[in-house]
Structure 1
């Protein structure tokens, strides 16, 4: 089982960098739709209002990917470039551990495996928002796969 996990991680390390070759328009379409569907309830409840009129940059450093996210009238919006008030930077593995709840967000930030740059107050508020979201807002199939991938990564590391 450990060999299989190591093989999957090596495969991910080889395949995921190809994501930067996906045209930005396709990235935006997929991410915007996924975020707005997955977070429909928190968006309706106004939990993302802290992003209205402000931009957050998600920078997946090892993949060379950056997405700028804001809250618009019709939900979360992704842009190729914007003047970000805050950047959250890390490698794909740290974002997976965060999303799958396999690692405490405070630990990831304290150990500088994820870094907040810019408006740290906004960054901390976003970190707390992400941490407070119930995995039940995600489609069950997505949460199961995120959790499984995160557990595999956590046990391999």
Structure 2
């Protein structure tokens, strides 16, 4: 029997690809509202000032999802297309590992599992911003969900890597 976290991750693997079929307007409304609510404290403290008047593109390659983000007057805004200065691209598992703190951001970027293209100074500022966000600012249930899913992905990746390095018997 699967443990609940494994079951939840498997369910997510089936549901996440459906996000690409969701109309962009709904994606934008849900993401803007959620991000601005969850990140209200760091936004209020000016943590996102590197994005003031500048655009970044976030691409989740394996899900074929992409959003352009900026910060305007202390609020995050999302657009389908914008003249972005930097793009951060990766698969959803890598973004989950980053968000759940299961993998060091520098390791993910150094190993090219997450890629920064364009204005690298802005990209590094955003990477450092993400790394500096305090999980205590998140609702406890959300942090537990992200952390648990990240642990499952890390464990699965570790098991897969161990299987590849085992000598043939």
Short-chain TM bin: over 0.9
1:1-150, aligned counterparts within 5 Å? 9-73=9-73, 75-150=75-150
Question: What CA deviation, in whole Å up to 9, does each residue of 1:7-50 have, x standing for no partner?
Answer: 65454333211100111111001100111011111111111011
Count of residue correspondences: 157
User: Aligned equivalents of 2:118 and 2:12: distance in 1?
Assistant: 30
Deviation, 1:78, is: 0.5
Q: 1:86, 1:118 within 8 Å by CA — same for their partners in 2?
A: yes
Using the alignment, how far apart are the partners of 1:35 and 1:93 within structure 2?
A: 19
TM-score between the two structures when normalised by the length of structure 1: 0.93
Residues 55 and 68 in structure 2, CA contact (< 8 A), matched pair in contact too: yes
Question: What stretches of structure 1 of length at least 5 have no aligned partner?
Answer: none
DSSP 3-state at the match of 1:41? helix
Residue segments in structure 2 that go unaligned for 5+ positions in a row = 158-169
2:160 corresponding residue in structure 1: none
2:59–2:65: 8 Å Cα contact kept in structure 1? Answer: yes
| TM-score, L = length of structure 2 | 0.87
